[in-house]
Amino acid sequence: MMKHEDAVHRLKNIEGHIRGIQRMIEEGQYCIDVIHQIHAAQAALNKVSTMILEGHLNSCAITAIRGDNLEDRERVLREIADVFDAATKV
């Protein structure tokens, strides 16, 4: 299960990575090297997103699905479908 501290720690690392990419561009580093670093930062963000989604599925979603409120169940399932839909548009 994801802990918020883990996500925050990873995001702070990504923030530093983004600053490094900015420096690379400012210093005129080789374009392909910059692109590789951008891909690495995107992969790190994807990992955080996956961690948060797993936490959501193991807490909020399970609670709603096991609950008696049909609207909550439908809402949670719709939200998850929307997340996957948005991810395929990137």
Q: What is the pTM of this model?
A: 0.84
Domain ranges of the chain: 4-89
Q: What angle do CA 51, 10, 56 make, to 5 degrees?
A: 20
Fold of 4-89: Methane Monooxygenase Hydroxylase; Chain G, domain 1 (1.20.58)
User: Is the pLDDT confidence value at 50 over 60?
Assistant: yes
User: Is the pLDDT confidence value at 81 over 80?
Assistant: yes
Mean pLDDT across the chain: 94
Residue 90 is predicted with a pLDDT of 63
User: Is the pLDDT confidence value at 2 over 80?
Assistant: no
